[in-house]
């Protein structure tokens, strides 16, 4: 249910959604219904001019359902969209979704909610994800890490990432790639995954890339498992013993089921030992920290809050443009959480007089106001978009929803199917 009210800033600083008994002329509706009601609440705070379009839970004091609110703050001015998801009870899952279910390509957040398997649940909220390659044959390649349904489809780049571990705990922090191949003579080479092959590097391509590697020129090795057992998709934190089943010299090698392709820049080909069909190598998908068992992960950055404390933002001296972006108001997206709730947060920007956008410091402060203990920034600007219950809720600064690489999608799990009770006459004989 969505209602419109005014709330005092002290309530917002505690992350409180005003309870139903503070609303006038409201009525309880099931999830997905819409109601617009103008009310006044928290009378001492009216002078702050904080307009909020918010959801109300059916059980005040015991919020158990996902909810949404639009906070309109005069101090920015800011229009802030917040989807709040209960963490307790295991009712919801967080998925990292890539456009078209692949490793490259672009689509809107709205379209990405539509490719979630019905078996995983019903999408109820989503937000755009990582920074990404915008043009060329590798458009949609995330800048950093992505793990989707347990499959490692993009390697970390040493920046900040968000992930859900094997037991459902949430994390944000720096993740480094340790992906490498070990050659028959014991030497090793670092590798990338499903992106543009860089000069002096090797790049591994999986079926998530599509029909072929798209790499130009260079030697490419077709690899399969030495034991000819099912071994794909790739998972983080594992080692695979592989053998070379084909060698191609012109690039853009076809990726057939059950294989991956290792593409070597010419300078790498000259450094590695002689490789022939039948040669064996070891592939490692290690990361630091270890991500074995992680089913959902996505990069972004920087980290905004750690244990409730706002973090300092220190780009390198060669990234002056990044520092400028951090200190300038732009549309922003972020994900944060505490022990009880996950928050998807989007701030409209580049609309003078309506919503100016936030600096990263302002975004971190607001995430703390909502009650987040941990939070991480995501891609912003024209990519910034939040989807809730079937519709984009913010005002994209491009005037329309931009196609992006990936997103975080929250699904409400489907209840398990119960076996029909047997009558006495149907009971199996002893």
Describe the chain by its helix, strand, coil percentages, rounded to 5.
15, 35, 50
Same domain? For 317 and 351 the reply is yes
Average pLDDT of the segment spanning 385-397: 98
Residue 277 has pLDDT above 80, yes or no: yes
Q: Is 54 a member of any domain?
A: yes
Residue 148 has pLDDT above 80, yes or no: yes
Same domain? For 166 and 307 the reply is yes
Grouping H, G, I as helix, E, B as strand and the rest as coil, residue 48 is: helix
Same domain? For 112 and 48 the reply is no
- Cis status, amide bond into 249, omega within 30 of 0: no
Same domain? For 340 and 374 the reply is yes
* Residues 348, 380: Cα–Cα separation, whole Å: 10
Same domain? For 227 and 310 the reply is no
Residue 322 confidence (pLDDT)? 59
Average pLDDT of the segment spanning 294-316: 91
Average pLDDT of the segment spanning 225-243: 96
Q: Is 353 a member of any domain?
A: yes
Average pLDDT of the segment spanning 27-41: 34
Same domain? For 109 and 195 the reply is no
Residue 287 has pLDDT above 90, yes or no: yes
DSSP secondary structure string for all residues of 267-297:
HHHHHSPP--TT-EEEEE--EES--TT--EE
Q: Is 117 a member of any domain?
A: yes
Q: Is 70 a member of any domain?
A: no
Domain range enclosing 350:
92-176+293-412
Higher pLDDT, 428 or 285: 285
End residue of a domain, out of 232, 256, 285: 285
**The two structure tokens encoding residue 47:** 């002078």
Same domain? For 385 and 316 the reply is yes
Q: Is 193 a member of any domain?
A: yes
* Residues 126, 83: Cα–Cα separation, whole Å: 9
Q: Is 151 a member of any domain?
A: yes
Same domain? For 275 and 142 the reply is no
Residue 325 confidence (pLDDT)? 80
Give the count of beta carbons closer than 10 Å to the beta carbon of residue 361: 15
End residue of a domain, out of 285, 316, 336: 285
Same domain? For 171 and 304 the reply is yes
Average pLDDT of the segment spanning 106-115: 98
Same domain? For 161 and 300 the reply is yes
Mean pLDDT across the chain, nearest whole number? Answer: 86
Q: Is 418 a member of any domain?
A: no
DSSP secondary structure string for all residues of 73-110:
ETTTTEEEEEEEEE-TTS-EEEEEEEGGGSSS--B-HH
**The two structure tokens encoding residue 328:** 């300038």
Average pLDDT of the segment spanning 158-179: 97
**CA dist 370 → 73, 160, 341, 395 (Å):** 14, 21, 10, 21
Q: Is 82 a member of any domain?
A: no
Same domain? For 199 and 138 the reply is no
The domain total for the chain is 3
Same domain? For 302 and 380 the reply is yes
pLDDT-above-90 percentage for the chain: 77
| Structural contact between residues 262 and 220, judged by C-beta atoms closer than 8 angstroms | yes
pLDDT digits (tens, 9 = 90+) for 373-390: 999 999 999 999 999 999
Residue 121 confidence (pLDDT)? 97
End residue of a domain, out of 65, 82, 102: 65
Residue 425 confidence (pLDDT)? 54
* Residues 72, 50: Cα–Cα separation, whole Å: 6
Q: Phi then psi for 109, rounded to 5 degrees?
A: -60, -40
């Amino acid at each position: 249910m969505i209602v419109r009210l005014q709330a005092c800033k002290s309530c917002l600083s505690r992350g409180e959604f005003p309870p139903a008994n503070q609303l006038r002329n409201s009525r309880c509706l099931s999830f997905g219904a819409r109601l617009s009601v103008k009310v006044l609440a928290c009378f001492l705070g009216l002078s702050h001019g904080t307009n909020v379009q918010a959801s109300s839970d059916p059980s005040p004091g015991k919020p158990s359902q996902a909810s949404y609110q639009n906070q309109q703050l005069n101090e920015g001015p800011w229009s802030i969209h917040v989807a709040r998801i209960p963490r307790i009870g295991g009712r919801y899952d967080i998925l990292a979704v890539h456009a078209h279910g692949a490793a490259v390509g672009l689509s809107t957040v709205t379209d990405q909610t539509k490719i979630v398997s019905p078996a995983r649940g019903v999408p109820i909220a989503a937000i755009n994800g990582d920074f990404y390659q915008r043009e060329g044959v590798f458009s949609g390649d995330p800048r950093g890490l992505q793990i989707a349904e347990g499959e490692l489809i993009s390697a970390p780049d040493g920046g900040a990432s968000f992930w859900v571990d094997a037991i459902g705990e949430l994390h944000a922090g720096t993740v480094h790639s340790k992906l490498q191949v070990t050659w028959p003579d014991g030497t090793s080479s670092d590798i990338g995954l499903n992106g543009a092959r860089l000069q002096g590097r090797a790049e591994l391509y999986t079926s998530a890339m599509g029909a072929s590697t798209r790499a130009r020129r260079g030697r490419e090795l077709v690899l399969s498992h030495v034991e000819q057992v099912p071994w794909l998709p790739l998972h983080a934190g594992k080692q695979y013993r592989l053998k070379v089943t084909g060698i191609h010299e012109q690039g853009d090698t076809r990726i057939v089921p059950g294989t991956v392709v290792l593409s070597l820049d010419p300078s790498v080909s000259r450094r590695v030992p002689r490789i022939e069909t039948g040669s064996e190598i070891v592939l490692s998908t290690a990361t630091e920290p270890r991500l074995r068992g992680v089913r959902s992960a996505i990069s972004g950055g920087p980290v905004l809050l750690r244990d409730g404390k706002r973090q300092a933002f220190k780009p390198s001296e060669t990234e002056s443009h990044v520092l400028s972006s951090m200190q300038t108001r732009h549309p922003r997206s972020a994900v944060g959480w505490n022990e009880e709730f996950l928050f998807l947060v989007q701030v409209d920007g580049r609309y003078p007089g309506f919503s100016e956008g936030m600096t990263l410091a302002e975004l971190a402060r607001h995430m703390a106001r909502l009650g987040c203990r941990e939070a991480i920034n995501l891609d912003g600007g024209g990519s910034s978009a939040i989807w809730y219950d079937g519709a984009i809720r913010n005002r994209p600064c491009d005037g329309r929803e931009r196609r992006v690489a990936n997103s975080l999608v929250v699904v409400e799990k489907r209840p398990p199917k119960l076996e029909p009770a047997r009558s006495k006459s149907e009971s199996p004989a002893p």
